Structure formats: C-alpha cells, structure tokens
Structure 1
Amino acid sequence: MKDTRTLLQRLTWTWRKCLVFESYRLDTMSQARQILAENFIFYTEEWLNRDYHDRYFYSRSVDNTRYELYVDKKDFAVAMDLLETNGLNGI
C-alpha cells in the first residue's frame, strides 16, 4: 500500500497513532492488514519479542512475538468497526 500521507502527517505520526489491533498469530494479523488495506486505511505495524516480558504468562502463546497495528486517530473508529464486523477483536 502506497504511503499517501503529507509531510506534516508523517512528522506528527507518533502523537496521532492509536493501537487498533494486536495479535500473537500471523494468520489473524494478515487478515487484519488485508481488511485495512482494502478499505484504504493507512496503518503501521510493529512487533515485539516477548522474551523481554513475563515468560510464564506468555509461554502458552502461539509464537514468541506480539504483532501490533496502529492507525491514525481519525480512522480509529472506522478501523475498529471494520475489524469487529469481520470477527477480529484484537484489543
């Protein structure tokens, strides 16, 4: 997906981003990315290795990484509605 943000939007992204979806599974993460891309909602993706956190709590999870999708604050409500209607309740 092409980044169509303006320079001001790029510079202020860290203050405007909202966590819209998080998952420990790549299959649900790819579904969420596809839904957002089909509806032209810009997102960024971050992932965090869980070895830096509580090992006991995360030992029962699918893999060792937590994936997160962030969207702009103005797109947050629309993105949450899209993900919930498709059965993806990530946060």
Structure 2
Amino acid sequence: MATTKRHSTHPGFHYHIDPEATSHDLMNEATEWLQYARSLTRLLADFIHEADTLDCQRVAHGMEAIGALMHMGVQCTAQAHARMCWEKGMDR
C-alpha cells in the first residue's frame, strides 16, 4: 500500500523582514531570493540530467528548498508593494 506525506502550504521557517527596510531594499532582497531559487533549479536540473539513478528524497528536498526560496521572494515583493502603497497614501 502506497503512503503519502502531507506537506503544509507554508514552509517550516519564518524570516522576519526588517521593519526599517525601504520598498527598494525589499525589491532588491526579493531579487536575491529569486536568483538563489533559479540557481538551485539549474543545479538540481543538472543533477537529474547527469544521474544514472535518482534519489527521490534528495530531489524532493531540493524542490522544497526552491519552494522556500521562491516563497521568500514573493513575501519580500508583497511587503515592498504594501510599503509603496502605504507611502503613496501618506503623500496624499
């Protein structure tokens, strides 16, 4: 009988964004997180292409890491957007 593992939709870590960071700083940070995710994706793809056999556990861990990095990029982008809207509202 096959068993499946349940995964939550949120990563098991929390990254606290600096409350003093500007929206520009947050967009730069989001870009960094997404670049890390892209690099890890390329590394994992190369690993899969070159492997004679696949270790599904390692592939799954790599994919989870990519998801976590992308999650951080999205969170930073969302925070930057919220701060830009807040700043725009304060100017009015």
| Larger radius of gyration between Structure 1 and Structure 2 | 2
TM-score (norm: length of structure 2): 0.31
